[in-house]
């Protein structure tokens, strides 16, 4: 028997995940929940969902769906709501998947308190928490984790990660903000945000740190120990940044494995640092990964150096296909059905699976959560990993507020084994 999943938050981002969760072969029941009734109806009336959806599984709020008997809830609501909503879901006995980040609110100490509560709730309830961090399942991250497991990096020395999303470039952040504030839950946020501003508490882009930090952290399997960071404050009275201490933040972390990691979170800075706006590079003593290229070097035998035959460096250009991990064939087929709904099962066999959504990460995120719940195991981006990402952002913001002072990074340890 499969598992049951309730989808909470069917807005712009959540709506893209609904068909993937519904079609995963290990899911046999799906429910829809949003405070906006029209969003629930959009899915409830779509015949694509009929085989796994019972019309009574329509819910008008998180409170309502927490009383239902789903195994797990997928929470893709506005970023300031995640942590308390995930705690509520865990307390109601459900496994929970959260959109990133753990929570984004202006107060550093409050964020750390929410991290603390989430780790405690996972321990207390025995339910799992997974963060839906997309960079973790970009092909670059999958490839680098495989290389790391094989020891191909040698010792990790240095890494970089950045999320460069200028407010007026690409997916326009002014429009995103306007949409997120337009719903019933959105209307409740400005007075709360204004209260933070009134007491002088202002956030910054490091409060949404996961796309930049997760690559280096998940590849190295290390956590941050301390940080020095600086911020750039908007100088043009741009209303988008009215409640922010900084529009751009840059940080240098010392990691638990001795490596140094440079992170940039920028919202007022057009352009790219590499080939992508949200990406990372990792450098080791034996191998390095940067912009879809793997560089390696074999060291000579130091006790009998042959100066005429020293090793040559290797460079390998990689395609996404070469970097992706494989998915189980039945899962891949189910996701292909989502992308090609007019095709028969036979026709689908001859179509290549092209993972899509933030570098192809979406199907992998869905599979990881469903598989972890179905098999009673911790997901890869479990609560211990998730709070590491969040704590890096908090400490960097704190350091930037103090003009680069060294700030220790909180840590809750590794996920328990087994
Ligand atoms: N690459 C990524 O990982 C990525 C990209 C985009 C968005 N996101 C995340 O996705 C999340 C959602 O973003 P969005 O643009 O879809 O927002 P949105 O405002 O379009 O959708 C959020 C929905 O949640 C619903 N909601 C809020 N509280 C609820 C409650 N108590 N009960 C039921 N429904 C409730 C709202 O009614 C709304 O429809 C954000 O947190 C964002 O950070 C992540």
Residues 6+ apart with CB under 8 A from 185: 35, 77, 78, 81
Say if ligand 1 is within 6 A of residue 112 CB.
Answer: no
- Cα–Cα dist 295/289, whole Å: 6
Residue reference for tokens 């709020």 = 61
CA angle (238, 242, 243) in 5-degree steps: 150
Contact in structure between 53 and 22 (CB atoms under 8 Å): yes
CB distance 36 to ligand 1 below 6 Å = yes
Ligand 1 atom nearest to 101, measured from its CA? 43
Identify the residue whose tokens are 């999303």.
165
Mutate which of 78, 81, 103, 176 for ligand 1? The one with the most ligand atoms within 8 Å of its CB, which is: 78
Mutate to test the pocket of ligand 1, among 15, 77, 164, 265 (most ligand atoms within 8 A of CB): 77
Measured from the Cα of 210, ligand 1's closest atom is: 3
Which of 166, 98, 163, 105 has its CA nearest to residue 133?
Answer: 98
Whether the CB of 77 sits within 6 Å of ligand 1: yes
Question: Torsions phi, psi of 174, nearest 5?
Answer: -65, -40
In angstroms, what is the span from residue 13 Cα to ligand 1's centroid? Answer: 6
Q: What would the DSSP string read from start to end of 24-91?
A: -TTEEEEEEE-SSHHHHHHHHT-GGGTTTEEEEEEESSHHHHHTS--SEEEE---TTTHHHHHHHHHH
Question: Where in the sequence of the chain do the CATH 3.40.50.720 domains occur?
Answer: 3-134+326-374
Ranges in the chain, pLDDT < 70: 418
Q: How far, in Å, are 135, 219, 237, 275 from residue 162 at the CA level? A: 11, 15, 25, 11
103 lines ligand 1 (CB under 6 A): no
Per the listing, tokens 């006995």 go with 93
Alpha-carbon distance of 378 to 129, in angstroms, equals: 8
> How far is the centre of ligand 1, averaged over its atoms, from the C-alpha of 409 (Å)?
28
Q: What is the pLDDT of residue 417?
A: 84
* pLDDT for the residue 34: 98
Is the shortest distance between the CB of 183 and ligand 1 below 6 Å? yes
- The CA distance from 373 to 96, in Å, is 9
Note if the bond before 321 is cis, omega within 30 degrees.
no
Residues with Cβ within 8 Å of 129's Cβ and at least 6 positions away in sequence, in order, are: 86, 90, 95, 96, 97, 98, 118, 121, 122, 379, 382, 383, 386
* C-alpha 177 to ligand 1 mean position (Å): 11
Compute, in angstroms, the gap from residue 14 CA to the centroid of ligand 1.
6
Question: Does residue 14 have its Cβ closer than 6 Å to ligand 1?
Answer: yes
Token reading at 313: 């460096």
**Phi/psi at 56 (5° precision):** -75, -10
Q: Is 185 in the pocket of ligand 1 (CB under 6 A)?
A: yes
For the domain 3-134+326-374, what is the CATH code?
A: 3.40.50.720
Residues carrying CATH 3.30.360.10, the chain: 138-324+388-408
Per-residue DSSP letter, 102: S
| 210 CB within 6 A, ligand 1 | no
| CB of residue 62 inside a 6 A radius of ligand 1 | yes
Q: Residues 6 or more apart from 329 whose CB is under 8 A from it?
A: none
Q: Is ligand 1 within 6 A of the CB of residue 205?
A: no
Q: Check if 9 has its Cβ closer than 6 Å to any atom of ligand 1.
A: yes
301-353 pLDDT per residue, tens: 999 999 999 999 999 999 999 999 999 999 999 999 999 999 998 899 899 99
Per-residue pLDDT, 275: 85
pLDDT of residue 341: 92
- Ligand 1 center–CA 40 separation, angstroms: 14
Q: Which alpha helices (DSSP H) does 188-325 contain, by range?
A: 189-198, 210-220, 320-323
Identify the CA nearest to 44 among candidates 15, 4, 67. Answer: 15
Question: Using an 8 Å Cβ cutoff, are 150 and 118 in contact?
Answer: no
Q: Which two tokens stand for residue 176?
A: 């995103």
Superfamily of domain 138-324+388-408: Dihydrodipicolinate Reductase; domain 2 (3.30.360.10)
Q: How far is the CA of 2 from the centre of ligand 1 (A)?
A: 26
In the reported structure, the alpha carbon of residue 80 is separated from the centroid of ligand 1 by a whole-number distance in angstroms of 10
- Alpha-carbon distance of 93 to 133, in angstroms, equals 23
Looking from the CA of residue 61, the nearest atom of ligand 1 is: 32
What is the predicted pLDDT for the residue at 48? 96
Q: What confidence score (pLDDT) does residue 274 get?
A: 85
Q: What is the DSSP letter of 203?
A: B
Average model confidence (pLDDT) for the chain?
Answer: 97
Q: Ligand 1, atom 23: nearest CA belongs to which residue?
A: 9
Residue 338 confidence (pLDDT): 95
Q: Which atom of ligand 1 is nearest to the CA of 184?
A: 37
CA 91 remoteness from chain centre: 23
**Which tens digits make up the pLDDT trace of 173-218?**
999 999 999 999 999 999 999 999 999 999 999 999 999 999 999 9
């Amino acid at each position: 028997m499969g598992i049951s999943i309730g989808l909470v938050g069917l807005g712009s981002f959540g709506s893209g995940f609904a068909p993937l969760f519904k079609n995963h072969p290990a899911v046999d029941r799906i429910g829809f929940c949003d405070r906006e009734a029209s969003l629930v109806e959009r899915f409830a009336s779509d015949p694509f969902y009929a085989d796994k959806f019972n019309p009574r599984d329509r819910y008008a709020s998180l409170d309502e769906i927490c009383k239902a008997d789903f195994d797990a809830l997928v929470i893709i609501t506005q970023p300031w709501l995640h942590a308390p909503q995930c705690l509520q879901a865990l307390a109601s006995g459900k496994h929970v998947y959260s959109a990133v980040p753990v929570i984004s609110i202006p107060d550093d100490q409050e964020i750390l308190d929410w991290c603390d509560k989430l780790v405690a709730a996972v321990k207390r309830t025995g339910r799992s928490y997974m963060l839906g961090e997309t960079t973790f399942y970009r092909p670059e991250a999958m490839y680098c984790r495989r290389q790391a497991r094989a020891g191909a990096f040698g010792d990790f020395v240095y890494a970089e990660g950045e999320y460069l999303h200028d407010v007026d470039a690409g997916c326009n952040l002014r429009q995103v903000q306007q949409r997120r504030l337009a719903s019933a839950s959105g209307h409740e946020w400005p007075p709360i945000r204004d209260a933070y501003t009134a007491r002088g508490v202002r956030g910054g882009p490091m409060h949404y740190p996961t796309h930049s930090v997760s690559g280096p952290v998940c590849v190295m399997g290390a956590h941050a120990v301390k940080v020095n960071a600086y911020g750039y404050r908007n100088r043009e009275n741009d209303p988008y940044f009215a409640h922010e201490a900084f529009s751009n933040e840059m940080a240098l972390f010392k990691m638990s494995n001795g490596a140094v990691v440079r992170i940039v979170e920028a919202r007022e800075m057009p352009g790219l640092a590499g080939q992508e706006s949200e990406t990372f590079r990792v450098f080791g003593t034996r191998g390095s990964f940067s912009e879809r290229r793997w560089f390696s070097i074999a060291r000579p035998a130091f006790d009998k150096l042959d100066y005429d035959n020293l090793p040559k460096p290797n460079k390998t250009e990689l395609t996404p296909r070469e970097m992706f991990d494989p998915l189980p064939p039945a899962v891949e087929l189910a996701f292909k059905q989502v992308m090609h709904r007019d095709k028969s099962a036979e026709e689908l066999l001859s179509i290549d699976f092209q993972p899509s959504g933030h570098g192809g990460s979406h199907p992998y995120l869905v599979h990881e959560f469903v598989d972890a719940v179905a098999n009673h195991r911790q997901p890869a981006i479990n609560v211990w990993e998730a709070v590491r990402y969040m704590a890096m952002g908090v400490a960097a913001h704190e350091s930037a507020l103090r003009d680069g002072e060294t700030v220790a990074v909180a840590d809750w340890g590794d996920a328990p084994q087994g």
